[in-house]
Structure 1
Amino acid sequence: MTNASPTIVVFDLGGVLFDWNPDYLFRKLITDESERKWFLANVCNSEWNLQQDAGRPLSEATAILSARHPEHARLIHAFYARWTEMLGGTLAEGMAIFEALETAGVPLYALTNWSGETFPYARDNYPFLHRFKDVLVSGDEKLVKPDARIYQRMLERIRKHYPDAQPEQLVFIDDIRRNVDAAHALGWRAIHHTDPAATAAQLRSWGLPT
């Protein structure tokens, strides 16, 4: 990595700017906590959901999993039929970082693992998403983090606006360690976002206003 100052920030969305949690829906559907945890760990789990973030159609995913677990078909169907009930709005501290950077004129992008079928709801209902210079959605690209190719595709999109942009000029903020490690491996600066105050402090240490 060179000593070049970072000039562009790329945000993950879920867990950084959006409060998304399947538990918000399934608390209503499975009242027993141990049963609910088992279902979300073993049936509609994160690995299954990630396949939809990688572009698999929601209808196909629902049908396959329902055939595998017919006794849970009603709950499986609810996962995407009532997906909006998992979205708890925005995260205030993450949004404060976003807004401080935006106010200072820092170019902002988003790179998110998100189904291409559900993301339009967020785009339509959360106007701040239109304030990014670009949002790269994994479901549209048929690639998910931490695949190196999706980061390269993000850099290509950034270079449409900033043709000379280099990896060391980018800061990536994500709440998943493996996604952060993948960005680091490509020469990006990256922050594992677990504490908004720590994220803001790291950005300030690199000369970015928060």
Structure 2
Amino acid sequence: MSAAPATAPAAVVFDIGRVLIEWRPEAVYDAAIGRERRERFFAEVPIEAMNLEVDRGADLSASVEALAAEYPDWAGPIRMWCDRWAEMVTPDIPASAHLLRALRARGVPVFALTNFGVDTFGIAQGMYPVLTEFDRAFVSGRLRQVKPDAEIYETLERETGLSGAELLFTDDRPENIDAAAARGWRTHLFESPEGLGGRLVAEGLLQPADLP
């Protein structure tokens, strides 16, 4: 095993969707309306752009109804984004939750940096207790700032007093990782809990016995 870095990061920053819990709207739509119709729906209706505005702080229900009025032929599938949202964030990723808890057990601060709506984050916290266990959660809807824009990274730095290599950030989206790396953060592109666990050991934050 390679030696740990001379100075370990002071804190670990987690993305949430596809890191700690799944985010699978396509799977829900495929099961409900079929893959071919779902592909048409995503191509013809700016549902993901609407969701980004929810991540910026817009109300989910009101946003869905406004989009349904604009695209009445797709009103049913559009309303599914609200009515069946909880199904889109299932299941959780237990091995990632184990890593977060192992870090906390070793006294390592853990933060969330996530694109998430205000109301939906509360729903997700009720579904998955691990989402209540951060030292602090930086939630885009609350801040009205989203990744990969620089402002949300700046907010985390200012509020935690940490910056650069003091922070190790894991996210499944390369553009979010690149934005953090540009600020000097240590980064890990999340592909699996096993890969993240190995990185945490390599950084001297966990020991092999801590891994799931």
Which bracket does the TM-score occupy, shorter chain normalised?
A: 0.7 to 0.9
Alpha-carbon offset, residue 35 of structure 1: 1.3
User: 1:164-206 CA deviation, whole Å, 9 max, x = no partner?
Assistant: x332110011000000000001111111101322222222222
TM-score of the two chains, using structure 1 as the length reference: 0.88
Identity %: 36
Which residue in 1 is equivalent to 2:188?
A: 191
From 2, 5, 8, the equivalent of 2:8 is 5
State the AA in 2 paired with 1:100: A
What secondary structure does 1:118 align onto? helix
Please list every run of 5 or more consecutive structure 2 residues that lacks an aligned counterpart in the other structure: none
* 1:1-210 equivalence runs, <5 A: 4-30=7-33, 32-43=34-45, 45-159=47-161, 165-209=162-206, 210=211
What secondary structure does 1:110 align onto? strand
- For residues 56 and 151 of structure 2, the distance between their equivalents in structure 1, rounded to whole angstroms, comes to 13
What secondary structure does 1:93 align onto? helix
What secondary structure does 1:19 align onto? coil
Alpha-carbon offset, residue 51 of structure 1: 1.6
Alpha-carbon offset, residue 3 of structure 1: 6.5
State the AA in 1 paired with 2:149: D
Is the 1:11–1:172 contact (alpha carbons within 8 Å) kept by the matching residues of 2? yes
State the AA in 1 paired with 2:193: P
Alpha-carbon offset, residue 44 of structure 1: 5.3
RMSD between superposed Cα atoms in Å: 2.0
State the AA in 1 paired with 2:148: P
State the AA in 2 paired with 1:23: E
Alpha-carbon offset, residue 59 of structure 1: 3.3
Is the 1:24–1:85 contact (alpha carbons within 8 Å) kept by the matching residues of 2? no
Is the 2:57–2:141 contact (alpha carbons within 8 Å) kept by the matching residues of 1? yes
Alpha-carbon offset, residue 41 of structure 1: 4.2
TM-score of the two chains, using structure 2 as the length reference: 0.87
CA gap 1:122/1:86 in 2 versus in 1, 3 angstroms: same
- For residues 68 and 166 of structure 1, the distance between their equivalents in structure 2, rounded to whole angstroms, comes to 43
Please list every run of 5 or more consecutive structure 1 residues that lacks an aligned counterpart in the other structure: 160-164
Which residue in 2 is equivalent to 1:162?
A: none
What secondary structure does 1:190 align onto? strand
- For residues 128 and 171 of structure 1, the distance between their equivalents in structure 2, rounded to whole angstroms, comes to 19
Aligned length: 203
Is the 1:6–1:168 contact (alpha carbons within 8 Å) kept by the matching residues of 2? yes
State the AA in 1 paired with 2:66: I
